[in-house]
A and B are shown apart, each in its own frame.
Chain A
Amino acid sequence: MVRQSFWTWSALVVVIMAGVIWGWREYRLRRLPLDSVLIPPIEYREKLEIPPRPGIQGIVITGPTIESLFFSIDLTKAGVRSLDWRRLQAIDPHADVKVNCRIGDEGQLWFSQDDVLMGGHTEAGMIIQRTLKTWMYTPFKSGVIRFWFNLPSKGRKLIIDTSGLRRKPQIPEYVPIYDGKIHLVDGLENENIWVGGRF
Protein backbone atom coordinates (compact mmCIF):
# COMPACT_ATOMS: atom_id res chain seq x y z
CA MET A 1 0.00 0.00 0.00
CA VAL A 2 2.80 2.35 1.01
CA ARG A 3 4.81 1.41 -2.12
CA GLN A 4 1.88 2.13 -4.43
CA SER A 5 1.34 5.51 -2.79
CA PHE A 6 5.00 6.38 -3.28
CA TRP A 7 4.90 5.77 -7.05
CA THR A 8 1.63 7.62 -7.42
CA TRP A 9 2.99 10.70 -5.73
CA SER A 10 6.24 10.53 -7.66
CA ALA A 11 4.40 10.30 -10.97
CA LEU A 12 2.12 13.15 -9.99
CA VAL A 13 5.03 15.41 -9.05
CA VAL A 14 6.85 14.62 -12.30
CA VAL A 15 3.73 15.24 -14.36
CA ILE A 16 3.07 18.57 -12.64
CA MET A 17 6.68 19.70 -13.05
CA ALA A 18 6.75 18.65 -16.69
CA GLY A 19 3.43 20.41 -17.23
CA VAL A 20 4.74 23.63 -15.69
CA ILE A 21 7.91 23.52 -17.82
CA TRP A 22 6.02 22.61 -20.98
CA GLY A 23 3.55 25.41 -20.35
CA TRP A 24 6.33 27.90 -19.80
CA ARG A 25 8.00 26.80 -23.07
CA GLU A 26 4.73 27.04 -25.00
CA TYR A 27 4.21 30.52 -23.63
CA ARG A 28 7.68 31.53 -24.86
CA LEU A 29 7.16 29.98 -28.28
CA ARG A 30 3.75 31.54 -28.80
CA ARG A 31 5.28 35.00 -28.54
CA LEU A 32 7.58 34.25 -31.50
CA PRO A 33 6.49 34.91 -35.10
CA LEU A 34 4.68 31.93 -36.60
CA ASP A 35 7.23 31.28 -39.34
CA SER A 36 10.00 30.82 -36.81
CA VAL A 37 8.01 28.37 -34.71
CA LEU A 38 6.61 26.07 -37.36
CA ILE A 39 9.38 24.13 -38.98
CA PRO A 40 8.11 22.30 -42.06
CA PRO A 41 8.54 18.51 -41.89
CA ILE A 42 11.50 17.14 -43.82
CA GLU A 43 9.26 15.06 -46.11
CA TYR A 44 7.63 18.22 -47.49
CA ARG A 45 10.91 19.80 -48.46
CA GLU A 46 11.09 18.13 -51.86
CA LYS A 47 7.54 19.10 -52.72
CA LEU A 48 8.08 22.79 -51.97
CA GLU A 49 8.74 25.00 -54.95
CA ILE A 50 11.79 27.09 -54.14
CA PRO A 51 11.17 30.59 -55.44
CA PRO A 52 13.95 32.29 -57.37
CA ARG A 53 16.36 34.22 -55.23
CA PRO A 54 16.68 37.94 -55.72
CA GLY A 55 19.23 38.57 -58.39
CA ILE A 56 18.57 35.38 -60.32
CA GLN A 57 15.88 36.76 -62.62
CA GLY A 58 17.43 40.16 -62.95
CA ILE A 59 19.28 42.89 -61.15
CA VAL A 60 18.42 46.53 -60.66
CA ILE A 61 21.36 48.68 -59.65
CA THR A 62 20.30 51.92 -58.07
CA GLY A 63 21.61 54.85 -60.02
CA PRO A 64 22.12 58.51 -59.18
CA THR A 65 19.23 60.76 -58.27
CA ILE A 66 17.85 62.76 -61.16
CA GLU A 67 17.98 66.42 -60.20
CA SER A 68 15.18 68.64 -61.41
CA LEU A 69 16.13 71.70 -63.43
CA PHE A 70 14.66 75.15 -63.00
CA PHE A 71 14.27 77.51 -65.89
CA SER A 72 14.53 81.02 -64.49
CA ILE A 73 16.56 84.19 -64.56
CA ASP A 74 20.08 83.25 -63.58
CA LEU A 75 20.81 85.49 -60.65
CA THR A 76 24.34 84.16 -60.37
CA LYS A 77 25.30 86.02 -63.52
CA ALA A 78 26.85 89.43 -63.11
CA GLY A 79 24.98 92.55 -64.14
CA VAL A 80 21.44 91.22 -63.98
CA ARG A 81 19.18 94.14 -63.06
CA SER A 82 15.55 94.31 -62.05
CA LEU A 83 12.98 96.61 -63.60
CA ASP A 84 11.76 99.37 -61.28
CA TRP A 85 8.02 99.39 -61.89
CA ARG A 86 7.36 102.46 -59.73
CA ARG A 87 9.87 104.48 -61.66
CA LEU A 88 8.33 103.32 -64.91
CA GLN A 89 4.90 104.36 -63.68
CA ALA A 90 6.19 107.74 -62.59
CA ILE A 91 7.76 108.41 -65.97
CA ASP A 92 4.91 107.17 -68.16
CA PRO A 93 1.79 105.76 -66.47
CA HIS A 94 0.20 105.06 -69.88
CA ALA A 95 3.13 103.15 -71.33
CA ASP A 96 2.23 100.16 -73.47
CA VAL A 97 5.34 98.34 -74.63
CA LYS A 98 5.70 94.94 -76.25
CA VAL A 99 9.05 93.23 -76.68
CA ASN A 100 9.54 90.11 -78.80
CA CYS A 101 12.70 88.38 -77.61
CA ARG A 102 14.57 85.21 -78.26
CA ILE A 103 16.43 83.22 -75.63
CA GLY A 104 19.69 81.89 -77.02
CA ASP A 105 21.44 78.61 -76.29
CA GLU A 106 23.46 80.12 -73.47
CA GLY A 107 20.40 81.71 -71.88
CA GLN A 108 20.98 85.25 -73.15
CA LEU A 109 17.98 87.39 -74.15
CA TRP A 110 18.22 88.64 -77.75
CA PHE A 111 16.12 91.35 -79.39
CA SER A 112 16.65 94.16 -81.84
CA GLN A 113 15.17 97.66 -82.07
CA ASP A 114 12.50 96.34 -84.43
CA ASP A 115 11.36 93.82 -81.83
CA VAL A 116 10.39 96.58 -79.39
CA LEU A 117 6.92 97.98 -80.07
CA MET A 118 6.59 101.04 -77.90
CA GLY A 119 4.00 103.09 -79.78
CA GLY A 120 5.20 106.54 -78.72
CA HIS A 121 6.21 105.60 -75.20
CA THR A 122 9.86 106.00 -76.01
CA GLU A 123 11.28 106.73 -72.59
CA ALA A 124 9.52 103.83 -70.93
CA GLY A 125 10.50 101.64 -73.88
CA MET A 126 14.17 102.57 -73.48
CA ILE A 127 14.13 101.80 -69.74
CA ILE A 128 12.55 98.43 -70.41
CA GLN A 129 15.04 97.62 -73.19
CA ARG A 130 18.03 98.54 -71.07
CA THR A 131 16.82 96.31 -68.26
CA LEU A 132 15.86 93.36 -70.45
CA LYS A 133 19.29 93.37 -72.05
CA THR A 134 20.80 92.45 -68.68
CA TRP A 135 18.57 89.42 -68.15
CA MET A 136 20.18 86.00 -68.49
CA TYR A 137 18.32 82.72 -68.14
CA THR A 138 19.43 79.29 -67.03
CA PRO A 139 20.29 77.45 -70.27
CA PHE A 140 17.60 74.80 -70.20
CA LYS A 141 15.11 76.29 -72.65
CA SER A 142 15.44 78.38 -75.77
CA GLY A 143 13.11 80.01 -78.28
CA VAL A 144 10.77 82.96 -78.41
CA ILE A 145 9.63 84.80 -75.31
CA ARG A 146 7.41 87.88 -75.52
CA PHE A 147 6.83 90.57 -72.89
CA TRP A 148 3.90 92.97 -72.81
CA PHE A 149 4.26 95.84 -70.34
CA ASN A 150 0.81 97.36 -70.12
CA LEU A 151 0.92 99.95 -67.36
CA PRO A 152 -2.61 101.40 -67.63
CA SER A 153 -4.21 97.96 -67.59
CA LYS A 154 -6.29 97.00 -64.55
CA GLY A 155 -5.18 93.52 -63.66
CA ARG A 156 -2.63 92.05 -66.00
CA LYS A 157 -0.03 94.75 -66.23
CA LEU A 158 2.72 92.39 -67.35
CA ILE A 159 2.03 89.42 -69.61
CA ILE A 160 4.83 87.04 -70.53
CA ASP A 161 4.18 84.69 -73.43
CA THR A 162 6.33 81.58 -73.00
CA SER A 163 4.52 79.43 -75.57
CA GLY A 164 7.46 79.76 -77.98
CA LEU A 165 9.99 78.29 -75.53
CA ARG A 166 11.20 74.75 -76.04
CA ARG A 167 13.35 72.61 -73.76
CA LYS A 168 16.79 72.06 -75.19
CA PRO A 169 17.12 68.76 -77.06
CA GLN A 170 20.37 67.94 -75.23
CA ILE A 171 18.47 67.59 -71.96
CA PRO A 172 16.99 64.08 -71.69
CA GLU A 173 13.21 63.80 -71.58
CA TYR A 174 13.19 62.18 -68.15
CA VAL A 175 14.75 65.24 -66.52
CA PRO A 176 11.93 67.54 -65.39
CA ILE A 177 12.32 71.26 -66.07
CA TYR A 178 10.21 73.51 -63.89
CA ASP A 179 9.61 77.19 -64.53
CA GLY A 180 11.06 79.42 -61.85
CA LYS A 181 11.14 83.20 -61.74
CA ILE A 182 11.36 84.33 -65.34
CA HIS A 183 10.99 88.04 -64.69
CA LEU A 184 12.67 90.49 -62.39
CA VAL A 185 10.31 93.37 -61.70
CA ASP A 186 10.38 95.34 -58.46
CA GLY A 187 7.22 97.01 -57.20
CA LEU A 188 4.66 94.96 -59.10
CA GLU A 189 2.48 92.45 -57.27
CA ASN A 190 2.38 88.89 -58.54
CA GLU A 191 -1.37 89.13 -59.16
CA ASN A 192 -0.64 91.69 -61.88
CA ILE A 193 1.76 89.39 -63.70
CA TRP A 194 0.57 86.62 -65.97
CA VAL A 195 3.17 84.15 -67.11
CA GLY A 196 2.26 81.86 -69.97
CA GLY A 197 -0.46 84.01 -71.49
CA ARG A 198 -0.62 84.73 -75.19
CA PHE A 199 -1.17 88.12 -76.73
Chain B
Amino acid sequence: MAFKIQRKPKERVELVSLIDMVFILLVFFMVTSFAIRMPMEERGLSIPAPENALGRAQIVIQFIDENDIFWMDETSASVVEEVEEYFGYLSPERLKNKIINDLIAQNRVSLEVLNEKINNLRMRAGQDPFARFFVLIRCPNHIPYFQVIDVITKLSDTPYRNIRYGCVGGTLNQIRECRRIYTVVEEDAQGNRRKNIRIDL
Protein backbone atom coordinates (compact mmCIF):
# COMPACT_ATOMS: atom_id res chain seq x y z
CA MET B 1 0.00 0.00 0.00
CA ALA B 2 1.42 3.19 -1.08
CA PHE B 3 1.13 6.09 1.28
CA LYS B 4 0.82 9.46 -0.26
CA ILE B 5 2.77 12.04 1.57
CA GLN B 6 0.85 15.24 1.70
CA ARG B 7 3.14 18.13 1.12
CA LYS B 8 2.41 21.54 2.50
CA PRO B 9 2.09 24.17 -0.22
CA LYS B 10 5.13 26.38 -0.45
CA GLU B 11 4.49 29.76 1.17
CA ARG B 12 5.59 32.80 -0.76
CA VAL B 13 4.81 36.48 -1.01
CA GLU B 14 1.98 37.21 -3.51
CA LEU B 15 3.51 40.02 -5.43
CA VAL B 16 0.61 40.42 -7.88
CA SER B 17 -1.94 41.61 -5.33
CA LEU B 18 0.70 43.68 -3.56
CA ILE B 19 1.56 45.54 -6.74
CA ASP B 20 -2.15 46.04 -7.48
CA MET B 21 -2.65 47.59 -4.10
CA VAL B 22 0.40 49.80 -4.38
CA PHE B 23 -0.72 51.10 -7.76
CA ILE B 24 -4.21 51.79 -6.48
CA LEU B 25 -2.67 53.81 -3.67
CA LEU B 26 -0.41 55.61 -6.11
CA VAL B 27 -3.29 56.54 -8.40
CA PHE B 28 -5.39 57.68 -5.43
CA PHE B 29 -2.70 60.00 -4.10
CA MET B 30 -1.94 61.38 -7.55
CA VAL B 31 -5.59 62.17 -8.21
CA THR B 32 -6.12 63.83 -4.84
CA SER B 33 -3.01 65.99 -5.17
CA PHE B 34 -4.03 67.08 -8.69
CA ALA B 35 -7.55 67.83 -7.49
CA ILE B 36 -6.11 70.31 -5.00
CA ARG B 37 -3.76 71.78 -7.54
CA MET B 38 -6.12 72.29 -10.47
CA PRO B 39 -8.35 75.03 -9.09
CA MET B 40 -5.27 77.18 -8.52
CA GLU B 41 -4.23 76.79 -12.13
CA GLU B 42 -7.72 77.54 -13.30
CA ARG B 43 -7.78 80.75 -11.28
CA GLY B 44 -8.46 82.74 -14.43
CA LEU B 45 -11.87 81.18 -14.66
CA SER B 46 -12.77 81.34 -11.00
CA ILE B 47 -14.71 84.06 -9.29
CA PRO B 48 -12.39 86.44 -7.41
CA ALA B 49 -12.17 85.78 -3.70
CA PRO B 50 -14.28 87.98 -1.43
CA GLU B 51 -12.46 90.97 -0.07
CA ASN B 52 -13.47 93.91 2.05
CA ALA B 53 -13.15 96.46 -0.70
CA LEU B 54 -15.11 98.52 -3.14
CA GLY B 55 -15.85 96.86 -6.42
CA ARG B 56 -13.56 98.55 -8.89
CA ALA B 57 -14.30 97.95 -12.51
CA GLN B 58 -14.04 99.57 -15.90
CA ILE B 59 -17.42 98.17 -16.84
CA VAL B 60 -20.47 97.28 -14.79
CA ILE B 61 -23.09 95.02 -16.29
CA GLN B 62 -26.30 95.05 -14.28
CA PHE B 63 -28.88 92.53 -15.42
CA ILE B 64 -32.37 93.96 -15.05
CA ASP B 65 -34.29 91.32 -16.93
CA GLU B 66 -33.50 88.60 -19.39
CA ASN B 67 -33.37 91.03 -22.30
CA ASP B 68 -32.79 94.23 -20.40
CA ILE B 69 -29.33 95.20 -19.20
CA PHE B 70 -27.84 98.32 -17.68
CA TRP B 71 -24.30 98.91 -18.93
CA MET B 72 -21.94 101.44 -17.37
CA ASP B 73 -18.45 102.23 -18.62
CA GLU B 74 -16.04 105.16 -18.69
CA THR B 75 -18.33 107.21 -20.92
CA SER B 76 -20.90 107.25 -18.13
CA ALA B 77 -18.64 109.61 -16.15
CA SER B 78 -19.48 112.45 -18.54
CA VAL B 79 -23.21 111.90 -17.93
CA VAL B 80 -22.73 112.10 -14.16
CA GLU B 81 -20.44 115.11 -14.46
CA GLU B 82 -22.91 116.93 -16.69
CA VAL B 83 -25.79 116.41 -14.29
CA GLU B 84 -23.63 117.46 -11.35
CA GLU B 85 -22.68 120.63 -13.19
CA TYR B 86 -26.12 121.69 -14.40
CA PHE B 87 -28.27 120.37 -11.56
CA GLY B 88 -25.97 121.00 -8.64
CA TYR B 89 -28.66 123.16 -7.04
CA LEU B 90 -30.90 120.14 -6.43
CA SER B 91 -31.09 118.46 -3.05
CA PRO B 92 -28.70 115.48 -2.69
CA GLU B 93 -31.57 113.00 -2.95
CA ARG B 94 -33.03 114.57 -6.08
CA LEU B 95 -29.60 114.99 -7.62
CA LYS B 96 -28.90 111.30 -7.04
CA ASN B 97 -32.21 110.33 -8.64
CA LYS B 98 -31.57 112.60 -11.59
CA ILE B 99 -28.10 111.11 -12.16
CA ILE B 100 -29.37 107.54 -11.96
CA ASN B 101 -32.36 108.20 -14.19
CA ASP B 102 -30.16 109.85 -16.81
CA LEU B 103 -27.64 107.03 -16.63
CA ILE B 104 -30.31 104.39 -17.01
CA ALA B 105 -31.99 106.28 -19.85
CA GLN B 106 -28.74 106.43 -21.80
CA ASN B 107 -27.21 103.07 -20.92
CA ARG B 108 -30.10 100.60 -20.90
CA VAL B 109 -29.45 98.04 -23.62
CA SER B 110 -30.93 94.87 -25.02
CA LEU B 111 -29.18 91.50 -24.98
CA GLU B 112 -28.24 91.98 -28.61
CA VAL B 113 -26.57 95.33 -27.92
CA LEU B 114 -24.88 93.83 -24.87
CA ASN B 115 -23.32 91.18 -27.07
CA GLU B 116 -22.13 93.86 -29.47
CA LYS B 117 -20.58 95.81 -26.63
CA ILE B 118 -18.89 92.71 -25.28
CA ASN B 119 -17.53 91.93 -28.73
CA ASN B 120 -16.15 95.47 -28.99
CA LEU B 121 -14.53 95.04 -25.58
CA ARG B 122 -13.01 91.73 -26.64
CA MET B 123 -11.69 93.38 -29.77
CA ARG B 124 -10.06 96.13 -27.68
CA ALA B 125 -8.58 93.55 -25.34
CA GLY B 126 -7.38 91.48 -28.27
CA GLN B 127 -5.56 94.41 -29.84
CA ASP B 128 -3.56 95.38 -26.77
CA PRO B 129 -1.91 92.61 -24.74
CA PHE B 130 -0.97 95.08 -22.01
CA ALA B 131 -4.50 96.41 -21.50
CA ARG B 132 -6.26 95.15 -18.40
CA PHE B 133 -10.02 95.13 -18.00
CA PHE B 134 -12.21 94.24 -15.08
CA VAL B 135 -15.92 93.72 -15.60
CA LEU B 136 -18.30 93.59 -12.67
CA ILE B 137 -21.43 91.58 -13.40
CA ARG B 138 -24.40 92.13 -11.13
CA CYS B 139 -27.25 89.74 -11.50
CA PRO B 140 -30.57 89.47 -9.64
CA ASN B 141 -31.68 86.06 -8.45
CA HIS B 142 -34.50 85.63 -10.94
CA ILE B 143 -32.26 85.80 -14.02
CA PRO B 144 -31.28 82.38 -15.41
CA TYR B 145 -27.67 81.83 -14.50
CA PHE B 146 -26.76 80.61 -17.97
CA GLN B 147 -26.97 84.20 -19.14
CA VAL B 148 -24.22 85.19 -16.74
CA ILE B 149 -22.22 82.13 -17.74
CA ASP B 150 -22.69 83.15 -21.37
CA VAL B 151 -21.24 86.60 -20.65
CA ILE B 152 -18.38 85.11 -18.62
CA THR B 153 -17.55 82.67 -21.39
CA LYS B 154 -17.31 85.48 -23.91
CA LEU B 155 -15.18 87.60 -21.58
CA SER B 156 -12.84 84.70 -20.90
CA ASP B 157 -12.34 83.95 -24.56
CA THR B 158 -9.76 86.56 -25.51
CA PRO B 159 -6.33 85.89 -26.99
CA TYR B 160 -4.43 87.52 -24.10
CA ARG B 161 -6.94 86.62 -21.38
CA ASN B 162 -6.74 90.20 -20.14
CA ILE B 163 -10.40 90.62 -19.25
CA ARG B 164 -11.10 89.67 -15.66
CA TYR B 165 -14.52 89.70 -14.10
CA GLY B 166 -16.37 89.48 -10.83
CA CYS B 167 -19.93 88.34 -10.26
CA VAL B 168 -22.17 89.53 -7.48
CA GLY B 169 -25.85 89.31 -6.83
CA GLY B 170 -27.65 92.63 -7.03
CA THR B 171 -30.59 94.41 -8.53
CA LEU B 172 -31.06 97.70 -10.30
CA ASN B 173 -33.19 98.86 -7.39
CA GLN B 174 -30.18 98.56 -5.12
CA ILE B 175 -28.38 101.00 -7.39
CA ARG B 176 -31.45 103.26 -7.47
CA GLU B 177 -31.56 103.21 -3.69
CA CYS B 178 -27.83 103.81 -3.25
CA ARG B 179 -26.72 106.34 -0.65
CA ARG B 180 -24.85 108.49 -3.14
CA ILE B 181 -23.55 108.52 -6.70
CA TYR B 182 -20.92 111.05 -7.70
CA THR B 183 -17.75 111.62 -9.69
CA VAL B 184 -14.42 111.51 -7.96
CA VAL B 185 -10.92 112.24 -9.23
CA GLU B 186 -8.50 109.43 -8.38
CA GLU B 187 -5.13 108.20 -9.51
CA ASP B 188 -4.95 104.78 -11.06
CA ALA B 189 -2.13 102.25 -10.68
CA GLN B 190 -0.23 103.83 -13.56
CA GLY B 191 -0.41 107.28 -11.94
CA ASN B 192 -2.96 108.67 -14.40
CA ARG B 193 -5.61 110.94 -12.93
CA ARG B 194 -9.05 109.66 -13.77
CA LYS B 195 -12.56 110.88 -13.30
CA ASN B 196 -14.32 107.90 -11.77
CA ILE B 197 -17.94 107.31 -10.86
CA ARG B 198 -18.45 106.18 -7.31
CA ILE B 199 -21.65 104.52 -6.14
CA ASP B 200 -22.02 104.10 -2.37
CA LEU B 201 -24.52 101.30 -1.87
Contact = CB atoms under 8 A, between A and B. Distances in A.
B54 A57 contact: yes
Interface string B160-201: 000000101010000000100001111010001111111111
Contact of A13 (B18, B32, B58, B59): B18
Contacts of B166: 53-55
B51 A54 contact: yes
Nearest to B26: A21
Given A10-B18, A174-B185, A62 B58 contact: yes
Contacts of B32: 25
A32 B40 contact: yes
Interface stretch (A63-71, A77-85, A102-110, A157-165): A63-71
Interface residues of B, number: 55
A25 B27 CA distance: 11
Interface stretch (B72-80, B122-130, B142-150): B72-80
Contacts of A63: 74, 76-77, 183, 194-197
A58 B200 contact: yes
B159 interface: no
- Main secondary structure, interface of B, reads mixed
B195 A174 contact: yes
A80 to B, nearest CB: 30
B92 interface: no
A56 B136 CA distance: 11
A22 interface: yes
B88 interface: no
A50 B50 contact: yes
A58 B193 contact: no
A60 B59 CA distance: 9
Contacts, number: 150
Nearest to A27: B33
B71 to A, nearest CB: 11
A17 interface: yes
B55 A59 contact: yes
Interface string B5-37: 000000111000010011001100100110011
A174 B32 CA distance: 56
15 contacts: A6-B12, A9-B13, A21-B29, A25-B32, A28-B37, A36-B39, A51-B50, A54-B136, A57-B54, A58-B178, A58-B198, A59-B55, A59-B56, A63-B196, A63-B197
Interface of A: 2-3, 6, 9-10, 13-14, 17-18, 21-22, 24-25, 28-29, 32-33, 36-37, 50-66, 174, 176
Given A21-B25, A60-B198, 7 more contacts: A6-B11, A54-B50, A54-B136, A55-B57, A55-B136, A59-B56, A61-B72
Interface of B: 11-13, 18, 21-22, 25-26, 29, 32-33, 36-37, 39-40, 48, 50-60, 72-78, 136, 138, 166, 168, 170, 178, 183-186, 188, 192-201
The 8 closest A-B pairs by CB, nearest first: A55-B55, A63-B77, A54-B55, A63-B195, A61-B197, A66-B193, A55-B168, A174-B185
